Structure 1
């Protein structure tokens, strides 16, 4: 018998969503959809090895650490997922084949094979909807008290994908609203610190801008998705450099929008 959504996570698992700096007064609202490699107790390892479970297929290495440092620098609220995207990718809607993948890159995921529609709906109810609803609630609360909101999602990507090296180091991604991305790319044009590109290594055609589409576009909020190559943020020094660069880039770009 399928478990009810509120029984999918055990008491030991805790909540599916975490909020850092909940009282932050900054205008930026940070989101990290792929922050964790943790598995719910009921799912075990999904049939994967320890190496696979700690690799980039399970989470975005370094992304949460960068987002947390940006949260401090910008006094920004940070909302992040507490479970692996292998269980459910909270940056994909329930009707997306990429929400629960039976194969990720070269890895078969036995625990995601042959799931019924009810199984998939249960995972969405336990993980996706609480996560996206928490973002929506935060945005509405900020609007009610007159606090501005600029939605920024933070991700990392692997330097080699299907055997191909990626030369881009930071991607500035956007969907149909490119206002903030345009300013950030212009501000980063002269930097020698990173190779910064638009809609790389992914873009909206790859379905990666779902949170922006769902949460920012309907409200007309400035928004951007940031991707950092994960070999650059493997340690605290790299994470700090990236966070400082991105926080400065955002601050400069937002000041331009107010000028």
Structure 2
């Protein structure tokens, strides 16, 4: 199998604040729009590669400031979700999508089994192994881990404007989301909704299920509308707000 990444491109996974004291592990699957050199531009224009189809604008910055506020570790993917969407399992059509919203992705059409396997091996497995390792390290240190994934979404999707500003997404385990939604309801600062603009039916809870549900760990996926986090000031404000919701929710969780 031909390697997808060159040695010069480095590790596909980045970790910040590995020695953080918080039980929270912050994960950003769609942190980057960078494309592996071997894949070129997948037949897309530069405008398309800068748009939300290639990454989650603002999500990495919010993740960074959130981890900073909580003194938590942050794990992020260093390559575009168009090369491989690490919030999808290898068998999912969305893992290497042929289309995204109004765009077709020529470089992902009719991939061979070998080409798909190369992306899984280079991008998916290292990312999820790193999350698993960090969660195990938290457990061995006596900290009950909490999994928080951070995403952003476009305010206009298929030409339709979205009113929701922040989504608290969960699968079968709603403990953390429930607490954060209750805290958000008290402040009424943003339009915060449960399982919007996506939910488990859209296949977006893969990381939560793989690492959270499978291990009985509190978990939540946070979606922020990207026009609310377009610059550093707004990213810091949002991170502080989310950190407050998380702290309140964690206080409500039963102590092991």
TM-score (ref. length: structure 2): 0.97
Following the alignment from structure 1 to structure 2, what is the Cα–Cα distance between the partners of residues 256 and 192? 19
1:107 aligns with 2:98: no
Following the alignment from structure 1 to structure 2, what is the Cα–Cα distance between the partners of residues 33 and 78? 11
* SS of alignment partner, residue 126 of structure 1: helix
Please report how far the alpha carbon of residue 253 of structure 1 lies from its aligned counterpart in structure 2 after TM superposition: 1.0
Following the alignment from structure 1 to structure 2, what is the Cα–Cα distance between the partners of residues 197 and 188? 9
> Where does residue 167 of structure 1 map in the other structure?
163
> Where does residue 146 of structure 2 map in the other structure?
150
The 5-angstrom pairing of residues 185-196 of structure 1 reads 185-196=181-192
> Where does residue 210 of structure 1 map in the other structure?
206
Following the alignment from structure 1 to structure 2, what is the Cα–Cα distance between the partners of residues 201 and 97? 20
* SS of alignment partner, residue 110 of structure 2: coil
* SS of alignment partner, residue 94 of structure 2: coil
The 5-angstrom pairing of residues 19-58 of structure 1 reads 19-58=15-54
> Where does residue 178 of structure 2 map in the other structure?
182
Contact 2:23/2:138, CA 8 A, preserved across alignment: no
Where do 5+ consecutive residues of structure 1 fail to align? none
1:239 aligns with 2:225: no
> Where does residue 123 of structure 1 map in the other structure?
119
Please report how far the alpha carbon of residue 202 of structure 1 lies from its aligned counterpart in structure 2 after TM superposition: 0.1
Moved over 6 A (4+): none
Count of aligned positions: 255
Following the alignment from structure 2 to structure 1, what is the Cα–Cα distance between the partners of residues 188 and 89? 37
1:209-255 C-alpha deviation (Å, 9 max, x unpaired)? 00000001111101000000000000011101110100000001111
| Deviates most, 17-26 or 188-197 | 188-197
Please report how far the alpha carbon of residue 258 of structure 1 lies from its aligned counterpart in structure 2 after TM superposition: 4.8
Please report how far the alpha carbon of residue 191 of structure 1 lies from its aligned counterpart in structure 2 after TM superposition: 2.3
Please report how far the alpha carbon of residue 122 of structure 1 lies from its aligned counterpart in structure 2 after TM superposition: 1.0
Following the alignment from structure 2 to structure 1, what is the Cα–Cα distance between the partners of residues 142 and 245? 24
> Where does residue 60 of structure 1 map in the other structure?
56
* SS of alignment partner, residue 89 of structure 2: coil
> Where does residue 244 of structure 2 map in the other structure?
248
Following the alignment from structure 2 to structure 1, what is the Cα–Cα distance between the partners of residues 157 and 180? 26
Following the alignment from structure 1 to structure 2, what is the Cα–Cα distance between the partners of residues 73 and 144? 23
* SS of alignment partner, residue 188 of structure 1: helix
Following the alignment from structure 1 to structure 2, what is the Cα–Cα distance between the partners of residues 128 and 12? 19
**RMSD (CA atoms):** 1.0
TM-score (ref. length: structure 1): 0.96
Following the alignment from structure 1 to structure 2, what is the Cα–Cα distance between the partners of residues 110 and 258? 49
Please report how far the alpha carbon of residue 103 of structure 1 lies from its aligned counterpart in structure 2 after TM superposition: 0.9
Following the alignment from structure 2 to structure 1, what is the Cα–Cα distance between the partners of residues 254 and 130? 28
* SS of alignment partner, residue 74 of structure 2: strand
Please report how far the alpha carbon of residue 133 of structure 1 lies from its aligned counterpart in structure 2 after TM superposition: 0.7
Please report how far the alpha carbon of residue 152 of structure 1 lies from its aligned counterpart in structure 2 after TM superposition: 0.2
Following the alignment from structure 1 to structure 2, what is the Cα–Cα distance between the partners of residues 245 and 53? 30
